């Protein structure tokens, strides 16, 4: 589970709930409007579905899962794994990597190793893996765009709720402005109807703001970061596979891949097996 996502969401919600509680002395019902909720949430989700292809819409649960249950793949560990493959290939030949292919769970790394085992030309390996990289990036783009659009439409639908509430308020005011005397009960009913209309107007705006800035915006940014991290790791894999296919010494492979890391990350890298000896 991604602790940062959960912790950040809870902290943000705690601040909002704190303000709501002290603003109404614990009366949370003041912040609920069925009309405003349905208009904003239903409208934002519906417009998001309308704006994107169906396959992107079906992938929303997977995108949320990626935010909440993403398993980090540290570049250092990836480099160490590739260097180990390079040692096997250097010692026993590239064909010996057949068993190594079965030990990795990364489909991208597995595909690259298989191409090297099959003796594909380096240019072909690079071309195939770059095409795969572009395909993955496009899928990531669809995931980010879905949340980006729903977040964009949220405030606009909040404004729509405000206008709906104001129209309802003016209708209730006009309904009580006719001639004749009104009993106290009628005045009370009219005031209650106006207050309810104002509640729709204000809470619709509140829901749109929260939906955009507390839910969709952070999820879009998180998916963007995850995508960049994954693309970065896959660039490491491409360079590692090409080095293995070229028959580079494992220490040369490690030196190439270490160039992807910052100086602090390199300092925490365990020494290669060849250097230990």
Could you read off the pLDDT of 3-24 as tens digits, one per residue?
888 889 899 999 999 999 988 8
DSSP line for 43-57: HHHHHHHHHS-HHHH
Token pair listed for 47: 């417009």
What pLDDT was estimated at residue 39? Answer: 93
pLDDT in tens, 82-137: 999 999 888 888 888 888 788 888 889 999 999 988 888 989 999 999 999 999 88
Instruction: For CA atoms 264, 265, 269, 272, give the dihedral sign.
Output: negative
Question: What is the total residue count of the chain?
Answer: 277
pLDDT in tens, 245-255: 888 888 999 88
What secondary structure, in 3-state letters, does 108-123 show?
Answer: HHHHHHHHHHCCCCHH
255 CB-side CA count, 13 A: 7
Describe the crossing of helices 75-92 and 107-117 by its angle, rounded to 10 degrees.
Answer: 20
Backbone φ/ψ region at 130: left (φ over 0), alpha (ψ -120 to 50), beta: alpha
DSSP line for 182-224: --HHHHHHHHHHHHHHHHHHHHHHHHHHHIIIIIIHHHHHHHH
Distance of CA 137 to the CA centre of its chain: 13
Describe the crossing of helices 217-245 and 60-68 by its angle, rounded to 10 degrees.
Answer: 80
What pLDDT was estimated at residue 94? Answer: 85
Give 260's DSSP letter. Answer: T
What is the rounded CA–CA span in Å between residue 20 and residue 121? 63
Give 133's DSSP letter. Answer: H
> What does the mean pLDDT of the chain come to?
85
For 73, other C-beta atoms within 10 Å of its C-beta total 16
What pLDDT was estimated at residue 274? Answer: 44
Q: pTM score, two decimals?
A: 0.78
pLDDT higher than 70, residue 56? yes
């Amino acid at each position: 589970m991604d602790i940062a996502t959960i912790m950040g969401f809870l902290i943000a919600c705690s601040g909002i709930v704190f303000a709501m509680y002290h603003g109404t002395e614990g009366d949370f019902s003041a912040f609920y409007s069925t009309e405003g909720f349905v208009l904003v949430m239903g409208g934002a989700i519906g417009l998001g579905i309308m704006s994107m292809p169906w396959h992107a819409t079906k992938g929303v649960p997977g995108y949320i899962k990626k935010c909440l249950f993403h398993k980090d793949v540290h570049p250092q560990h990836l480099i160490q794994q590739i260097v180990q493959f390079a040692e096997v290939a250097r010692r026993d030949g590239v064909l010996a990597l057949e068993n190594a292919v079965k030990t990795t769970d990364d489909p991208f790394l597995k595909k690259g190793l298989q191409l090297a085992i099959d003796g594909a030309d380096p240019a072909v390996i690079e071309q195939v893996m770059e095409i795969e990289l572009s395909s993955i990036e496009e899928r990531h783009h669809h995931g980010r765009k879905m949340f980006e659009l729903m977040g964009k439409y949220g405030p606009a639908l909040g404004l729509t709720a405000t206008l709906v509430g104001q129209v309802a308020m003016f209708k209730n005011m006009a309904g009580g402005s006719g001639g004749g005397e009104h009993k106290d009960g009628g005045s009370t009913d009219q005031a209650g109807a106006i207050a309810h209309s104002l509640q729709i107007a204000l809470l619709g705006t509140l829901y749109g703001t929260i939906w955009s800035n507390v839910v969709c915006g952070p999820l879009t940014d998180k998916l963007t970061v995850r995508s960049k991290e994954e693309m970065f790791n896959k660039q490491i894999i491409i360079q590692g596979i090409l080095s293995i296919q070229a028959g580079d010494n494992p220490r040369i492979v490690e030196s190439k891949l270490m160039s992807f890391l910052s100086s602090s990350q390199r300092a925490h890298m365990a020494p290669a097996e060849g250097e230990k000896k």
